[in-house]
Structure 1
Amino acid sequence: MPVTGAVMSQLLPAALVLFSGGQDSTTCLAWALSRYERVETVGFDYGQRHRIELECRETVRSGLAALNTDWGARLGADHMLDATVLKSLGETAMTHEVSIEMTEAGLPSTFVPGRNLLFLTLAGALASRRGIAVLVGGMCETDYSGYPDCRADTMAAQAETLRLGLDVPMQIETPLMYIDKAETWALADTLGGQGLVDLIAEDTHTCYLGERGARHEWGYGCGTCPACELRAKGWESWKNAS
């Protein structure tokens, strides 16, 4: 289970955060900056429809560094990797103009088969070259769409695969795995206060359709896609409980 709240008394050496520019990965980045001496980030261009999230990444990184001088000192290099092979494997609502709906396989059309597996493989290879033994990702099986590559069992298996295949120690941390979206907002507030909450609302991107025209209390988005609905519901539940 993730440890939420106060900074660890002794910082751990280093971590590589899978950082998309969205709410979850930004919260995970703040979590890592509170725990590790050196934190690097990696993003993936996989031909996503909402690729505007990639344009948000540097703004968010800079914002996090400005929020906390210690975080700024610990924030290391950013890496961007080409994962567009995923788009070439077949259509999904995340990579093509396809309706967001449940498929015959019982999974939403937003599921990109192999996405997290590929991301973690690439991140693991990068981490091994950077002398980093910890990957941090925003995978969650509490508030999610049933994606099999977001489950804790998948993360445990992937970590073991990386350890065996790379012949180096490799750990995958998932701070959000067992909390819902309201608790994710609460975690951001615990980690960075109102400044971090405001940064997430204003500068991160979650909307599957890449919409940034309408500004809601919880941030920008179409307001109707599953990602927007989940983010909005979590915001409302968190604010009502505050």
Structure 2
Amino acid sequence: MSEIGQNPEISALVLFSGGQDSATCLAWALDRFARVETVGFDYGQRHAVEMEARLEVRARMAALRKDWADRLGPDHVVDLTGYGRIAESALTAERAIELDARGLPTTFVPGRNLVFLTVAAALADRRGLDVLVGGMCETDYSGYPDCRRDTIEAMARALSLGLDKPLVIETPLMALTKSETWALAQRIGGPPLVDLIVEASHTCYRGDRDQRHAWGYGCGDCPACELRAVGYGEWAARP
């Protein structure tokens, strides 16, 4: 990973789920790169409503600023439902959300980010895109080992070797708390971007779009909702 800063000559592929983190990453990328495309993965997730939310987030993001609309390129969706069946978890099957024998949450999908990054790297290679952007974070996260900086840096090295060319994976949220992620969105796009993320993005593991909270829609008690709510509350309480 390398913080490459603003560069109007570089293109990027954003791993885009339609949640708070990936929406913030999309805005971050649109603020920096000449061309930005997005990729989503259908792995049979129970909260499949995120696949619909991501389209609304993209459309509303483009409407915020003309330069963002000009830079936003195509969206791609990759069918990984076969992998989702192999890597069964509480995100892909009717299982309780709890800790397993290893101390990992049952929402952990084994190797998910490793698979996502490999597929995204192949797509970026064929599309001529220079950088992968992902919302992985090791500060405020649900205990997933494939979100850690060491994991992402190892994947960047492996993919660079496998593709026989340097591959940059940018993770702008890696060291941020959820509160700081809200603050980053505020810095990038002001209240309009924050409002967009609250209203249109989806994070809830249970796919609940009926209950509206100050921080957005969700069940309010799954791990994803709890992280998002606490982060929003801490950010909103700042002077």
TM-score, reference length from structure 2: 0.97
Which residue, 66, 78, 90 being the options, matches 1:93? Answer: 90
Q: Structure 1, residues 102-138: CA drift from partner, whole Å, max 9, x if none?
A: 0001100000001100000000000000111210000
Contact 1:128 1:168 in 2 (8 A): no
Query: How do 1:107-118 and structure 2 match up within 5 A?
Result: 107-118=104-115
* Residue in 2 that maps onto 1:124: 121
The within-5 A match list for 1:44-83 is 44-83=41-80
Paired with 2:18 and 2:165, the residues of 1 have a C-alpha distance of 28
- What is the SS of the residue equivalent to 1:195? helix
**Cα deviation per residue 1:155-193 (whole Å; 9 max; x = unaligned)?**
111011111111122110000000000000000000001
After TM superposition, give the deviation of residue 89 of structure 1 in Å.
Answer: 1.1
Whichever residue aligns with residue 229 of structure 1, its letter is E
Q: What is aligned with 2:235? A: 238
Query: The residue matched to 1:11 in structure 2 has which SS?
Result: strand
- Find 2:189's aligned residue among 162, 187, 192: 192
Partner Cα separation in structure 2 for residue 195 and residue 23 of structure 1: 14
Equivalent residue letter for 1:214: Q
Mark the CA change 1:196 to 1:145 in structure 2 (over 3 Å): closer, same or farther: same
2:23 corresponds to which residue?
26
Query: In 2, Cα distance between the equivalents of 1:196 and 1:217?
Result: 15
Give 5+ residue unaligned stretches, structure 1. Answer: none
Q: Which residue of 2 aligns with 1:137?
A: 134
* Partner AA of 1:144 in structure 2: Y
Question: 2:101 aligns to what SS in structure 1?
Answer: coil
Q: Is the 8 A contact 1:143 1:179 kept in 2?
A: yes
Task: Give unpaired runs (5+ residues) of structure 2.
Answer: none
Q: Distance in 2 between matches of 1:234 and 1:11?
A: 32
* Structure 1: distance between partners of 2:149 and 2:113: 12
Aligned residue number for residue 169 of structure 2: 172
Question: How much has 1:12 moved relative to structure 2?
Answer: 4.0
Distance 1:140 1:98 in 2: 25
Contact 1:92 1:98 in 2 (8 A): yes
Identity %: 63
Distance 1:174 1:26 in 2: 13
- Cα RMSD of the aligned pairs, angstroms, is 1.4
Runs (4 or more) in structure 1 with deviation over 2 Å come to none
Distance change in 2, residues 1:234/1:2 (3 Å)? farther
1:224 aligns with 2:229: no
- Aligned residues of 1:12 and 1:35 also touching (Cα < 8 A): no
